[in-house]
Structure 1
Amino acid sequence: MTKTYIGQHFLTNEVILEKIAGFVPKNSTILEIGAGEGQLTRKLARHASQIETVEIDKDLLPTLYLLLRSNKNLKITIENALTLDFQKYPNYWLVGNIPYHITEPLVMKLADTNFKSIILMVGDSFGREATAIPDNMENFGKLSWIIYAYFRAKIELEVGKENFDPVPRTDSSVLVLTPRNPDEFKDGKLFLMRWLVRSIKGNKLIKNALMEGIIRLKKSTKNQAKEIISNTELSPLLLSKPFEQLNNEEYRKLYQSLDIVLKLLK
């Protein structure tokens, strides 16, 4: 029995389950989060040389344990995905069908991990924001910034809400996140975008995080960095906020200011 109060909605369409499993190459090592009753787990196990599936709901264990009989490559872990140490899974493929209310904190946690690729079932509005690019500012916000700084994002499949049990309130999308190549961060704008995301952990103000990023990028002095920031026309209010507390309009202004920063650094 599903528990909608913790966001459980199980994908039941066999054709869509097969398509999702098909996004993972044969003989891959897979980490699945949000196993549910194992509908996708069963299909992923056929593609995997090794698969670990993670589920938070202990009541689903009896159903999942049945899969162990026919899938010797399967390991089952009961844990909250948000507390999982993702650094233990280098070069794995991550596949997740998780409660939509934890998607954003999960993506935050996935930045700076070493997965080959990340395949997530997400709400359709989340998918639109996740794939928004800076050149099209309409849907660009905090989530777009974070994902763009670390991944190449693509919606591979649209999934109607009628394909879930129980039926959720919104349609869904299969979002694929491919980690950026390290060489891409030689680009000054991507470097500064990622630096500002990393400032979240220290709760640093934009003015301090941006100054540190400029110093790291071009070995500028502190005074040079301050002067560059003063020429960006970013408001004192924006500069005095932590990255996480900006609104969408401020994220757009901050992104546009990076062009000025890079021009002044030449």
Structure 2
Amino acid sequence: MSKSKPGTEHRARKRFGQNFLEDDNIIRRIVKSISPKAEDNLVEIGPGKGAITEQLLAACPTLNVVELDRDLIPILLSQFIASYPQFQIHQTDALKFDFANLLTDAQGDPKGPLRIVGNLPYNISTPLIFHLLTYQADVKDMHFMLQKEVVDRMAAQPGEKAYGRLGVMVQYYCKVENLFDVPPECFNPRPKVDSAIVRLTPYEQLPHPARDVTLLSRLVNTAFQQRRKTLRNSLKLLMPAAAIESLNIDTSVRPENITLAEYVALSDKLKDLQAQD
């Protein structure tokens, strides 16, 4: 997340999905929502030119950042490394980065759970969220700026138009809080869509643990690939209608009307059926 500053001129690159945040009030509101502490194991994805980075470092001098655009690295170093020698930059693709490397220090001692923040590029936000969810057991919380439509999908409840695979799988792992919207005029260049800030807090104990989460993901994906069809028809290649109805789930409803708990029950039932084959 970033704001332009004197001496930090850098043209936003479309291929990186860069939109630099330039509203001081929004920046302060984001940082207040994160509430960073000195002892936090804090990591920022996509720091850009460092507006939010500056405020995060003031509270947490051991901040790690992950930035893909190599041309931004000298800008960040020139601004912060003299005042914050423990500041670390990882010039890499967040989609490929192993966040487990940040769980220990140089001596191999544990650093505590990750707190992850970032202004995620619209073009990779969903796959990056799924990548980060693989680390949920080692994450305290995550605060992201995303396309508002993506945040709406993450927070959607059964029966709502935005409810789908993303919402089911994110809510399987995390409590989702849609904090506030960010309009296009807060950025340079201005995006064509509204943005929003979301807080994801991984559960210490999953409310509806599945016996096979990979199977759950496959089942949910299959169901929503044909979301206009009834559950009976969208899942017919995976399991018979009788198996669904044995769980007291109506096979005539659409996938958007099934709760997370019911999807977990369906995946556990499918696990039983596979074991019988």
Bucket of the pairwise TM-score, normalised by the shorter protein:
0.7 to 0.9
Aligned counterpart for 1:13 among listed residues 16, 23, 33: 23
Distance in 2 (CA, whole Å) between partners of 1:101 and 1:257 is 31
CA contact (8 A) 1:151 1:180 kept: yes
Aligned counterpart for 2:75 among listed residues 63, 88, 95: 63
Counterparts of 1:217-228 in structure 2, within 5 Å, are none
Note closer, same or farther for the CA distance 1:241–1:65 as it changes in structure 2 (3 Å cut): farther
CA contact (8 A) 2:21 2:188 kept: yes
Aligned counterpart for 2:202 among listed residues 168, 179, 182: 179
CA contact (8 A) 1:127 1:155 kept: yes
> What do residues 185-221 of structure 1 show as CA deviations (whole Å, max 9, x unaligned)?
3x5xx223x844x2378xx6x49x9xxxxxxxxxxxx
Distance in 2 (CA, whole Å) between partners of 1:240 and 1:54 is 41
Aligned counterpart for 1:109 among listed residues 131, 134, 145: 131
Counterparts of 1:40-55 in structure 2, within 5 Å, are 40-55=52-67
Q: 2:43 aligns to what SS in structure 1?
A: strand
Q: Tell me the equivalent position of 1:159.
A: 182
Distance in 1 (CA, whole Å) between partners of 2:157 and 2:264 is 15
Aligned counterpart for 1:199 among listed residues 185, 203, 215: 215
Matched, 1:87 2:111: no
Q: 2:53 aligns to what SS in structure 1?
A: helix
Distance in 2 (CA, whole Å) between partners of 1:2 and 1:261 is 45
Distance in 1 (CA, whole Å) between partners of 2:56 and 2:160 is 36
Note closer, same or farther for the CA distance 1:181–1:8 as it changes in structure 2 (3 Å cut): same
Distance in 2 (CA, whole Å) between partners of 1:195 and 1:161 is 41
Note closer, same or farther for the CA distance 1:180–1:239 as it changes in structure 2 (3 Å cut): farther
Per-residue deviation, 1:47 = 1.6
Letter in 1 for 2:82: R
CA contact (8 A) 1:112 1:150 kept: no
Distance in 2 (CA, whole Å) between partners of 1:161 and 1:240 is 43
Bigger CA drift: 165-174 or 21-30?
21-30
Q: Tell me the equivalent position of 1:98.
A: 120
Q: Tell me the equivalent position of 2:191.
A: 168
Distance in 1 (CA, whole Å) between partners of 2:76 and 2:125 is 23
Matched, 1:38 2:33: no
Counterparts of 1:120-159 in structure 2, within 5 Å, are 120-134=144-158, 136-159=159-182
Per-residue deviation, 1:4 = 2.0
Q: Give the root-mean-square deviation of aligned CA atoms.
A: 3.1
Per-residue deviation, 1:5 = 3.1
Q: Tell me the equivalent position of 2:86.
A: 73
TM-score (norm 1): 0.74
Note closer, same or farther for the CA distance 1:41–1:234 as it changes in structure 2 (3 Å cut): same
Q: Tell me the equivalent position of 1:250.
A: 255
Note closer, same or farther for the CA distance 1:41–1:260 as it changes in structure 2 (3 Å cut): closer
Note closer, same or farther for the CA distance 1:261–1:88 as it changes in structure 2 (3 Å cut): same
Distance in 1 (CA, whole Å) between partners of 2:84 and 2:64 is 11
TM-score (norm 2): 0.71
Distance in 2 (CA, whole Å) between partners of 1:238 and 1:261 is 10
Matched, 1:26 2:37: yes
Note closer, same or farther for the CA distance 1:181–1:42 as it changes in structure 2 (3 Å cut): same
Note closer, same or farther for the CA distance 1:133–1:251 as it changes in structure 2 (3 Å cut): closer
Gaps of 5+ in 1: 210-232, 243-247
Gaps of 5+ in 2: 1-10, 104-112, 223-229, 240-252, 273-277
Distance in 2 (CA, whole Å) between partners of 1:39 and 1:84 is 23
